[in-house]
Amino acid sequence: MVKRGPMTHVVSSLETPVIDLSLLSCGNEEEVKKLERACREWGFFQIINHGLADDLIQKTKAAIADFFKLPLEEKQKYSMELHDMQGYGHFVVSEDQKLEWGDLLGFSVYPFKHRNLNAWPTTPPEFRDVTEQYSAEVNRVGKELLGNISLMMKMDKSSLEELHGELMQIIRNNYYPICPRPDLVLGLSPHSDSNSITILLQDEVTGLQIRHDGGWVPITPMPNALLVNIGDCIEMWSNGKCKSIEHRVVTNKHKPRISVASFIEPAMDAYIEPLDQMVDCEQLRVYKKIKYGDYFRNYLEKRLEGKTHTQFGKLENE
Ligand SMILES: O=C(O)CCC(=O)C(=O)O
Ligand SMILES: [Fe+2]
């Protein structure tokens, strides 16, 4: 049974901010301010005019839907190996984690040397090609966003990308089947993402909810928009000024749901600590210097439980 505390009421209609990527790309300062408000007040925003062709978006969703429709034996050809997060399976981060109402197919896309092609389906036949094209576009969008977040943090446009070391990109395709008892089980438990930014493509079925003002706000998918959320690394670099917001996925009695999460992530040997210009005075420094690989290993050891894992990066922990 999923615990539902007093702070879990669902707010019906609140609009998350919408950012125009084409305005960011041409240096529009107003849009950078909008981005800053979105990162500080929401941690989530939709992006439009991102340059991904509608056709590519449709093909990506279709290839993923076709993969999840395959017979189980076919999908299991890509099963995750023990201690490997690449392949088909379930999201289990710790042994006492309750199983969730969702299947996933995840793998590393960049850098190339991290690719395990055994986890990349060959059925449907267009899957690999479409994933390759989609991921290259998401990489471009991710870098543009990192560039603008750098500007917003009063740095050169290239700074955050450089702080990532070798920038990693992981794709996680999620399939949430129809669930007879959405009141009993979640598709994905409350968590924040450990990485820097996550770029999500979702179908038209509402399921994702984010924490906002003490309640859960459902995100209504905007056709062909991409949804972005700030992860823990940006929260740490910004000394908590940008918010890595808790989110969860609820299940649906009538329709299955598909989402495609692309995680932009620092290299495991990159160091993260609040940037000096984001710390107003030393007493207000919230995070310590950590190696991303250590942070990520701790994240994996914990069960998904809201933001408890972020304690690992906090100074009062010492
Ligand atoms: O399916 C979704 O909408 C969200 C997925 C998500 O939060 C994740 O993969 O970290
Ligand atoms: Fe997430």
Per-residue pLDDT tens digits of the chain, which is 318 residues long: 344 433 455 554 467 899 999 999 999 999 999 999 999 999 999 999 999 999 999 999 999 999 999 999 999 999 988 777 899 987 655 555 567 899 999 999 999 999 999 999 999 999 999 999 999 999 999 999 999 999 999 999 999 999 999 999 999 999 999 999 998 899 999 999 999 999 999 999 999 999 988 899 999 999 889 999 999 999 999 999 999 999 999 999 999 999 999 999 999 999 999 999 999 998 899 999 999 999 999 888 876 678 888 888 989 744
Nearest in space to 279 (alpha carbons), one of 239, 232, 235: 239
Tell me which H or E stretch contains 9: none
Q: pTM for the whole thing?
A: 0.93
On whether the CB atoms of residues 303 and 100 are closer than 8 A, the answer is no
Residue among 169, 208, 227, 228 to mutate when testing ligand 1 (max atoms within 8 A of CB): 208
Q: Is 253 helix (H, G, I), strand (E, B) or coil?
A: coil
β-strands 44-48, 18-20: how paired?
Answer: parallel
Nearest in space to 88 (alpha carbons), one of 29, 199, 71, 230: 71
Of the bound ligands, which one is closest to the alpha carbon of residue 245?
Answer: 2
Residue among 172, 188, 191, 260 to mutate when testing ligand 1 (max atoms within 8 A of CB): 188
Separation CA 92–CA 262 (nearest Å):
18
Q: Which atom of ligand 1 is nearest to the CA of 257?
A: 1
pLDDT score of 283: 86
Regarding the beta carbon of 52 and ligand 1, being less than 6 Å apart is answered no
Task: Give the gyration radius of the chain's Cα atoms.
Answer: 19
Q: How far is the CA of 174 from the centre of ligand 2 (A)?
A: 11
Q: Which ipTM value was assigned to this complex?
A: 0.99
Q: Which atom of ligand 1 is nearest to the CA of 202?
A: 3
Q: Which atom of ligand 1 is nearest to the CA of 229?
A: 7
Residue having the nearest C-alpha atom to atom 3 of ligand 1: 208
Lookup result for tokens 């930014």? 197
